[in-house]
Structure 1
């Protein structure tokens, strides 16, 4: 990918109010981004879009973020895609489970946009 090409981020989030805030942040940061609101179809979209990072809610309709994370880490074509898990259940147990399944980061909702922005840049800069 060319150095000046925008980073691609896929938002997998079912709550519209959170997705709107994320959409605003992604646009402000200059990321090329898309959103899907259910877990079903997320893996197909990830394979099609080939994002640099997936911003992945854990509690999703149909297929959980944990299941998507695990499937991504067992797919050789998707192993290099960064995963930032988001959840309203920000316990240490949830964090450990997400990281054990292969997530690169974890952020508890509600989060400050500044905190999320820092985490996005940390993960994307690692990938560069």
Structure 2
């Protein structure tokens, strides 16, 4: 089972929500939190295989959450997908370029997201590439 920590912006009253999704030969356990500080706590406990982080959060932005998670030694090599849907691409490009992560600039369907998750998990430790409009960009 692959564990994915999802950090989103929808309020869930401080509760942690869990969901399991079977995909191909794999089972994905998604753990959803809506706060950056909660993501740090849950990340340390869960030790996820992947982070899926929304850029626009209530307490801190997704780049700050990514940096905080990656400052934890046991989480430093966990790949991440950053959703910047509706964000200012120009303002984010510099921050994103300095980090090894996948980036979504537009909404994609669930099938495309699951394929992106597969790709991010299969290239762990390899150079990350930005994803524009659901496609890898070199």
TM-score range, shorter chain: 0.7 to 0.9
> What is the number of residues matched between the two proteins?
115
Asked if 1:11 corresponds to 2:6, the answer is yes
Higher mean C-alpha displacement, 113-122 vs 39-48: 113-122
The whole-number CA distance in structure 2 between the counterparts of 1:12 and 1:37 is 6
The answer for the alignment partner of 1:20 in structure 2 is none
CA distance in 2, matches of 1:15, 1:108: 19
Partner of residue 21, structure 2: 27
| Shift in Å, 1:92 | 4.8
Q: What TM-score comes out, normalization by structure 1 length? A: 0.76
Greater RCO (Cα-Cα under 8 Å, separation 6 or more): 1
Distance 1:45 1:103, change over 3 A: farther
Structure 1 residues 99 and 31: CA distance shift in structure 2, 3 A: farther
Q: RMSD across aligned C-alpha pairs, in angstroms?
A: 2.4
Q: Counterparts of 2:45 and 2:88 in 1: how far apart (Å)?
A: 30
**Unaligned 5+ residue runs, structure 2?**
12-17, 126-138
4+ residue runs over 4 A deviation: none
In structure 1, distance between residues paired with 2:93 and 2:43: 22
Using structure 2 for the length normalisation, give the TM-score.
0.71
Name the CA shift for 1:51/1:90 in 2 (closer, same or farther; >3 Å).
Answer: farther
The structure-2 alpha-carbon separation of the partners of 1:73 and 1:126, relative to structure 1 and needing over 3 Å to count, comes to same
- Counterpart CA distance in 2 for 1:126 and 1:95 is 22
Instruction: Give 1 or 2: higher helix fraction.
Output: 1
Any idea what the Cα deviations from partners look like across 1:3-35, whole Å, max 9, x if unmatched? xxx11101111237xxxxxx87x6142201210
Residue among 44, 55, 60 paired with 1:63: 60
Does structure 1 retain, via aligned residues, the 8 Å contact 2:4–2:49? yes
Q: Which runs of 5+ in 1 are unaligned?
A: 1-5, 17-22
